[in-house]
Amino acid sequence: MALGSCKTGDEQLSLENNKIGKAPTKMNKENLKPSKEVPKREEVAIIGGGCFWCTEAVFEMFDGVKEVVSGYAGGASKNPTYKEICTGKSGHAEVIKIVYDPTVISYPKILSVFGECHDPTTLNRQGADVGTQYRSTIMYLSEEQQKIAEAWKNKLTENFIDPVVTEIVKAPVFYAAEDYHQDYYKKNPNAGYCTFVIKPKLKKLKLE
């Protein structure tokens, strides 16, 4: 064997890899890092149409809805409690925050369902629930949502004899309600309100 023809172990392995089409063993460390996961699309809608137990139960039935949180919004006080809300003097409304995938369920669809699951013509009232906390409200989080909401209201007005009283306002701070309010229908399907109010509404909307 001629002198000087020996190769180091790394050089020999690299040469053999190249001959059989393999990549060299010395690789860029950046290529070894795991690729970042493509973020999933999520958008948020905030609406109120009476007792949040009911609206929460309705929207939890839809594909594309990832989470529904019952809460309070629209008043001046911070971190309001249910007891404060029940006075009707806090300025807050009972609302739900819907986290959804817009590729599965659109904002216009959410408003369409919203219009069907409550009466948008009764001021500060839904059935036996009376007070400003039960007002019909859409709290938009973008100019696009505002435009869609206003178009929805205009179209709905054409279909009702009584005026549509749903307020459309820029979303204020949202405060999640107490834990016992969350997933209320799922946790208490046989409770009186669930039996006489929520279940009939779900059946009317063909969701149950």
Residue 122 lies in domain: 43-204
In this prediction, residues 8-29 reach a mean pLDDT of 47
State the Rg of the chain over Cα: 28
Residue 26 lies in a domain: no
Residue 175 lies in a domain: yes
Torsion angle of the four alpha carbons 10, 12, 17, 19, in this order, in degrees rounded to the nearest 10: 160
Residue 7 lies in a domain: no
Backbone angles phi, psi at 183, to 5 degrees: 55, 40
Residue 16 lies in a domain: no
Residues recognised as catalytic: 51
Sheet of 93-100, strands arranged across: 167-170, 136-140, 43-49, 93-100, 65-73, 175-176
Distances in whole angstroms, Cα of residue 108 to Cα of each of 61, 122, 143, 149, 190: 17, 22, 14, 8, 32
Residue 60 lies in a domain: yes
* pLDDT tens-digit readout, 127-170: 999 999 999 999 999 999 999 999 999 999 998 999 999 999 99
In this prediction, residues 114-123 reach a mean pLDDT of 97
Residue 76 lies in a domain: yes
- State the pLDDT at residue 39: 56
Instruction: Tell me the pLDDT band of 29, cut-offs 50, 70 and 90.
Output: very low
Coil, helix or strand for 76? coil
Confirm whether pTM is higher than 0.85: no
Bridge partners (DSSP) of residue 46 are 97, 139
Instruction: Tell me the pLDDT band of 208, cut-offs 50, 70 and 90.
Output: confident
The CATH number covering residue 200 comes to 3.30.1060.10
Question: Is 114:201 a contact under the CB 8 Å cutoff?
Answer: no
Could you tell me whether strands 167-170 and 136-140 are parallel, antiparallel, or unpaired per DSSP bridges? parallel
Nearest-angstrom CA–CA distance, 60 and 188: 15
Residue 4 lies in a domain: no
Residue 29 lies in a domain: no
| Number of domains within the chain | 1
